[in-house]
Amino acid sequence: MTASRAWDQRLRTVTVSGRTLRVSVRPGDGTLPPLLLMNGIGASLEVLQPFVDALDRRREVIRFDVPGVGGSPKPVVPYTMVTFAPVVAALLRELGHPEAVDVLGFSWGGGLAQQFAVQHRRHCRRLVLAATGTGSLMVPAHPRVLSKMLTPRRHRDPGHARAIAGEIYGGTMRQHPERAAQVLHSATRLGPQRGYYYQLAAGAGWSSLPLLRMIHQPTLVLAGDDDPIIPVANPRLMARLIPDSELHLYRGGHLALVTEARELAPVVDRFLS
């Protein structure tokens, strides 16, 4: 069987709680808890492939496209962090995981992961919050950065992605903006533009600040020292307020979990193990 055919067999469509999601499951050997990944805004599950490839092969890894992004159809009705967390819990049960799994939330997905860890704590064993903040109540990015995050154009136009990569993602994207285009742009990853705006709306007015003291799972806060989207004051605050947490500050920017996966995946593996 070719590698591409093996990949196809790991993709499936699952309908739970009225939501239809495209899902990927990389099998493990059962010796380590499964890891559920929650992705950034506008990003399909393929974006995290370099990170998945760098993780311990014994670990089962579960990914999904949120409604209207990647291969998941657009939602019939909008959703919020609070209403989507039960969908994720139902997805895990449908996939045969009624027990607790490990959860990693990246960027926008980090907000969903925080909500999930509080709302469905029995489903979350350990938590990793990567390049993420506390939602609407946080130290904000510069207005120039925020303005470029309001549309999904960078996911659809590789030239635009290269032009803005250094300014909005920081880290190695400042010297190699073409890598952002490679990571984000693929015709096979695109969902309707409306999916991006549904994600924006889901986080509007939401904040995890009142929830941080309620996150009792061991938590790794993974943050870059040059992340224009998530100023470093935010992960420092999160690590102080989450009771059982540790902060790993790496040299890099917002996309390092993907572009520097070989350096960061072992950090995550060690924490989860």
Active site residues: 107
**3-state class percentages of the chain: helix first, strand second, coil last, to nearest 5:** 45, 20, 35
Structural element, H or E, at residue 259: helix 256-259
Alpha helices in 62-175 (DSSP H): 81-94, 108-119, 143-148, 153-156, 158-169
Contacts of 114 (CB under 8 A, 6+ apart): 105, 127, 129, 132, 134, 208, 211, 212, 215
* Distance, CA of 21 to CA of 234 (rounded, Å): 31
Dmax (CA) of the chain: 50
Is-contact 203 228, C-beta < 8 A?
no
